[in-house]
Amino acid sequence: MEIQVDPHTLERALERGTNEAEVEDVIRSGSPIPAKHGRLGKAKVYAFQQERHGKYYEQKRVEVIYTIEWGIIVTVTVYVFYGK
């Protein structure tokens, strides 16, 4: 299925430490997560092993919220969580 990464999602992705390739990878191979308002969500954990804002993190979890419109996956937003 075609994936359309919304400009808002891409802007948030870059601010939060991920990119368009990871957003698409999460949608294709991530695990389903709950989402509100009839939307869908998927998440995936990546090895990070670097610093972000002065603190070292082993991993990052990327969560993508999206909808399906006319057979096209359209992203709504992305969240990135750092840990371990």
Measured between alpha carbons, how far apart are the two ends of the chain, in Å?
33
Give the C-alpha separation, 47 to 5, whole Å.
23
pTM (predicted TM-score): 0.94
Residue ranges covered by each domain of the chain:
3-83
- Rounded to the nearest integer, the mean pLDDT of the chain is 96
Q: Is the pLDDT of residue 84 over 90?
A: no
For 7-48, what is each residue's pLDDT tens digit?
Answer: 999 999 999 999 999 999 999 999 999 999 999 999 999 999
Task: Decide the pairing of beta strands 55-69 and 72-83.
Answer: antiparallel
Packing angle of the helix pair 20-29, 7-16 (nearest 10 deg): 100
